Structure 1
Amino acid sequence: MLRKTLLVLAIASALAACGKADKDPAKPAAAKAQADAGKDGKPVQLLVAPEDVLTVQSNALASGPVITGSIQPERKADLRAEVSAVVLQVLKENGEPVKRGDVLVKLDETSIRDSLMSAEEALRAATQAFDQSQRALDRLKTLRASGMTSAQALDDAEVRRNNAQSEVSAARARLATARQQVGRTVVRAPFDGIVSDRKVSAGDTAAIGKELLKVIDPTSMRFEGRVSADKIAAVKVGQPVMFRVNGYGEQQFTGTVKRIDPSANDVTRQVEVLVGLSNANQPRVAGLYAEGRVDAELNDALTLPEAAMVKAGDKTYVWKVKGKTLARTDLTVGARDPRTGNYEIKGGLAAGDTVLRHPSSNLKDGQAVEMAAARVASASNGQAQGR
């Protein structure tokens, strides 16, 4: 009987404990949160290494008009047919490098070669006619000295000699033209470069003026940009330009304004600005879109990288290390510096402030901060002593 009574009491105690737990289910979670936060309810102390923070400094902030355009070679040649002939052979393909004087295209010279032979025969005949007229003139001069011929006959012989001499000169000019035409059937590279656009193939008929291929010099690239007309007054020759090229990611290129077009485009009302590239690793592909900014003015301003800033809706803030605590600080952000990618800080921070370089999402305002420099030093000393 006693054993049954003890069993009933044990079951009743267990049921009472379960009911108490159901009435207050949040108590274990709250206890865990309090344990995580510490006995005083404050956030856990944040251990920060020197490389996790950065000091706000005043830097030169570039400002100026936006420039857009494309990368184009300064040295380029559109090779066209100078004679009407059939294309016999194209020796270079797109992308192949060429040296100055290399044969690129051969045209059929059959008909032109016939013209050359005809010009050579005409020169030979004209030369013979001139020699004969010169000998006849010399004979008449001798006879005239003896009084055996008239002055009129001598004058007529001299006229024939002069006409023959003129015909020789004309024949030589025709021969030179024929030789030049034969030479134009072989198209050569005008400079060292790369074939960028092949327009013909073997068997095509090349009329005079037909484009055969293009050759560009990839080492002579420049930025052919355009600036809005209402901003062109701020652009001067010699100003630096920072820009990015489509296809090269975030790589920055630098250049200098070399020339400003004196007239604006009739349709877009933009002014062309030529920028010479100064990078040793300048882009080697023509036609790529580029966009940047002309550094027309440099001002001192506080700047921060985008990684150090946190955006929440329309607000931007940073986590500032203030003494041994962490403070959330709202910012007033200005323009982005195209050279460095940093943003101008117009309000919220001062020079010398320390902020977290890469803040996480679980930080708390007022959270305690401890710099890890002393611990790292002691650890290094310990390792040195162990050795």
Structure 2
Amino acid sequence: MRRRYVFGLLMLATVPWNVSLAQAVGQSLSVSTVQRLNVPVRAGFDGTVEAVRRTVIAPQVAGAVIALAVREGDAVRQGQVLLRIDSTASDQAAAASQAQVQVAQSVLNVAAKELKRQRQLHHKQYISDAALERAQAQYQASSATLEAQLAQAAGAGTQSDFHLIRAPYDGIVSGLAVALGDMAMPGRPLLELYDPAHLRVAVAVAQSAIDASLLEAQVEIELAGQPPRRLVPVGTRLLPVMDTGTHTARIHLALPFGIQAVAPGMFAKVWLPVPAVAGSGLYVPARAVVIRAELAGVYVIGPDGAPRLRQVRLGPAYGDKIEVLSGLDYGERVALDPQAAARLH
């Protein structure tokens, strides 16, 4: 009976000492309070790859297509002949214009010689002033006729050049609307061309999800058919117009130069920061989190000051903090040094 009495006194004396020890241990650990932070949330939007330079080539003259030098998908160089339109009538008109130039030049030569003779006769007072003035007028008229014929011949030559369709820049033929023998008409598209060196991703974003200041943060792009990595655009532009039907705005994201196997029309996933709801997320310092196998937890300081491991479900990280989706309440305290808390647990 005496041993049991002594053991009971020892147990009663130990209880308050353990509580004080736990409180002292909790005070010695570095702790942080669970906080609510307003951080931008990343959301994914579907986008499409577009060509910054895309050209629909149409003829300025009518005629049959007599030569077709490219096919869809061909890479072309600037100035390369893509197709040829029948220029028989235009060539004949240009030749006629050149003949008219030669006639005008001959008339001008005769008028110049006549004017020279009339000046000599006028100097010897063999002819009147009126006769000299007529010779001068004839020369000026012949000179003006020659200039008009030269201009007409230049126009005919330019018109003849319209029958050769050339590439305006280095690019890839993305569409061909005619075949050999088809009739080309002014304004009717012949082919399409785009510049593969300058591509962008266009994405439509809802008005409620747009914040121009958030676009200054990092925007990321995932391209279909590319290695599993996210690209950072080299330029971001929010167009200052809204679609009246869908109430969305378009954002253009310039792709880095030299990306291979990317073409207009490809699917792209764009990750944009969108405004977060006020007070929507609970965050703790990332160093307070313990990862064991597939489980995540934090050491929560209880009312008695003792650290206790609690399982939590984590969200995305933001800076040196990480979001806690479940397992913690606002205002709770967590240990910043999990190893020290584990030794005292």
2:180 match: secondary structure? coil
The equivalent of 1:165 in structure 2 is 143
1:212 lines up with 2:190 in the alignment? yes
1:119 deviates by 0.8
The equivalent of 2:54 in structure 1 is 76
2:197 match: secondary structure? helix
Q: Partners of 2:194 and 2:133 in 1: how far apart?
A: 61
1:86 match: secondary structure? strand
1:353 deviates by 6.7
The equivalent of 1:345 in structure 2 is 324
1:89 lines up with 2:67 in the alignment? yes
Report if aligned partners of 1:241, 1:257 keep a CA contact under 8 Å in 2.
Answer: no
The equivalent of 1:196 in structure 2 is 174
The equivalent of 1:363 in structure 2 is none
Question: Which residue identity lines up with residue 319 of structure 1 in the other structure?
Answer: L
Q: Partners of 2:40 and 2:262 in 1: how far apart?
A: 27
Q: Partners of 1:257 and 1:195 in 2: how far apart?
A: 26
Q: Partners of 1:352 and 1:92 in 2: how far apart?
A: 68
1:182 deviates by 1.8
Contiguous gaps of at least 5 residues in structure 2 = 1-38, 300-308, 329-333, 340-345
Report if aligned partners of 1:225, 1:274 keep a CA contact under 8 Å in 2.
Answer: yes
1:102 lines up with 2:84 in the alignment? no
Q: Partners of 1:68 and 1:336 in 2: how far apart?
A: 23
Q: Calculate the TM-score normalised by the size of structure 1.
A: 0.60
Matched length? 274
| Deviations 1:13-71, CA, capped at 9 Å, x for gaps | xxxxxxxxxxxxxxxxxxxxxxxxxxxxxxxxxxxxxxxxxxxxxxxx76367655421
Considering only aligned residues, what root-mean-square deviation do their CA atoms show, in Å? 3.6
- 1:184 maps to which of 145, 162, 168: 162
- 2:263 maps to which of 285, 294, 309: 285
Q: Partners of 2:47 and 2:139 in 1: how far apart?
A: 66
Note closer, same or farther for the CA distance 1:345–1:209 as it changes in structure 2 (3 Å cut): same
1:211 match: secondary structure? coil
Question: Which residue identity lines up with residue 124 of structure 1 in the other structure?
Answer: Q
| Deviations 1:83-117, CA, capped at 9 Å, x for gaps | 11110121111111112222210111111110110
Percent of aligned positions that are identical: 22
1:329 lines up with 2:311 in the alignment? yes
| Deviations 1:99-148, CA, capped at 9 Å, x for gaps | 22222101111111101101100111111111112222222222222222
Contiguous gaps of at least 5 residues in structure 1 = 1-60, 309-317, 338-342, 355-387
More deviation in 92-101 or 221-230? 221-230
1:252 deviates by 2.5
Q: Partners of 2:152 and 2:56 in 1: how far apart?
A: 28
Counterparts of 1:1-387 in structure 2, within 5 Å, are 63=41, 68-235=46-213, 239-246=217-224, 248=226, 251-278=229-256, 280-281=258-259, 284-295=262-273, 319-320=295-296, 329-331=311-313, 344-348=323-327
Q: Calculate the TM-score normalised by the size of structure 2.
A: 0.67
1:254 deviates by 2.1
